[in-house]
Every structure is written in C-alpha cells, then in structure tokens.
Amino acid sequence: QLQLQESGPGLVKPSETLSLTCTVSGGSISSSSYYWGWIRQPPGKGLEWIGSIYYSGSTYYNPSLKSRVTISVDTSKNQFSLKLSSVTAADTAVYYCASSGYSRRDLDYWGQGTLVTVSS
Amino acid sequence: DIQMTQSPSSVSASVGDRVTITCRASQGISSWLAWYQQKPGKAPKLLIYAASSLQSGVPSRFSGSGSGTDFTLTISSLQPEDFATYYCQQANSFPRLTFGGGTKVEIK
C-alpha cells in the first residue's frame, strides 16, 4: 500500500517561492499505473487541484495556476516536488500530495497534508 | 474547463436519516466521477470511484449513481462517524482534475 508524506517550510514570505516535496513509500514512483498530484485547501475552503506529473516527467497544471507552478519528479529518490512562485496570502493553504491511478482516475492515496502560511 | 457544482452546500440530518448529495458537471463526463469524505484536520478519503464503485473498506451504506452530467452520493442510514464534508471530483479530463465545492453534513 502506498504511503505519501509531504515536507517543506511551513512559512513562506510574500513574493517568494513555495517549495514542497512528497516522498512515496510502499511502491515505485516509476510505476506506469500512477500519476502523482498536488492538491491544496485554503483554511475553511474546498479542494483545488494544482497539477499532476507522470514518472516520465509529463506535467499537467491547473490553468489558473499554470504561470506560477512547476512540478518535477526525482525517480532516484522516489519523490516529486512542487514549486509555486510569487506567492501571496491567497496561497496560504494545506497542501496535499496524492496518487491517481491511470485506470480508475481517482485519488486513492493521500499524504497527511502540510500547512503553508504566506506571511512576512 | 469542466466545472463541478455540488448541492446542497450543507445539510442537517439525524442519525439514521437517508442523505443525498448531488453533483452536476458543466459537460458530460461519462462515469468519471469520484466521491470523497473529509473530516476536520484530515486528508480526504476516497469513498466511490467511477461514479458507482465502492472503494474497498467503505461501508455499504454509501452508494453512488449517475452518468453524463448528473451524479448522486447517497448515505442510506447516517451514522455518527459520517458527519463530515463530502466532495465530488471529475476525471473526464484526466489527469486534469476538478473538485466540486463540497457539502457539509451536520448534526440536526
């Protein structure tokens, strides 16, 4: 069974770049069966898909964030990462990483989430 | 982009009640719809995939139906542990995903 764990700074200054890493255990990030995604949830609000990556490096982004988002994968470390540039207070949220199976297209395994606050 | 609209945004119900939540897609998504349950401070948990398939380990009081643009999540007999927020998610444009706005199930 897959396990995912987010890591990264909990506080980022406005205009700087938010960087998070998701470490996958219990399976290979190079599996052809999965895409790997980032989802966020501002305090008290709903879920927002940020983007996804395949082990080959193919990326897919939410159009509303595309200009500021970069998702990358490191197969040697079984990790994938999120960078969100030029952050503002509106980017304050709990950030989740999750796996989405190619055949079922759902998000079956999730990390516990990490709160990132944008503040000076 | 495909938009997902959930209704109601909140519902008050009692233990034992039947609860129905609706999700509507802005265009046809076949059966590419999933439902999640989220409790405060926790990650969402997958309940239903492919519109009507029950995820392993999820109680059978949860069921999903629908195809095309209109979908329903039904809890047949609400239990105390079911008070939570529920989200739908379309995957017709996979791997691009969209979530509904959420439905909070509260104690009456």
- Give me the residue from A49, A112, A113 closest to B97, CB to CB: A49
CB contact under 8 A, B89 and A100: no
The first and second tokens of residue A48, run together, are 């927002």
Q: What is the pLDDT of residues A4-33, one digit of tens each?
A: 999 999 999 999 999 999 999 999 999 889
Closest CA to A49 of A72, A66, A25, A33: A66
CB atoms within 10 A of CB B21: 22
Instruction: Looking at the complex, report in whole angstroms how far the Cα of residue A40 sits from the nearest Cα belonging to chain B.
Output: 10
Write out chain A residues lying below 8 Å of B53, CB-based.
104
Let me know: does A7 contact A20? Beta carbons within 8 Å.
yes
Q: Cα–Cα distance between A75 and A52 in angstroms, integer? A: 15
Would you say residue B71 has pLDDT above 90?
Answer: yes
Chain B from 22 to 51: CB within 8 A of any A CB: 32, 34, 36, 38, 42-46, 49-50
**Mean pLDDT value of segment A90-94:** 98
Concatenate the DSSP letters of all residues of A72-119 into one string.
Answer: EEETTTTEEEEEE-S--GGG-EEEEEEEEETTT-SEEEE---EEEEE-
How do residues A47-83 score in pLDDT, each as one tens digit?
999 999 999 999 999 999 999 999 999 999 999 999 9
The CA distances from residue B84 to A17, B41, B81, B104, in Å, are: 33, 11, 8, 6
Instruction: Note the pLDDT tens digit of each residue in B4-32.
Output: 999 999 999 999 999 999 999 999 999 99
What pLDDT is stored for residue A32 in this prediction?
86
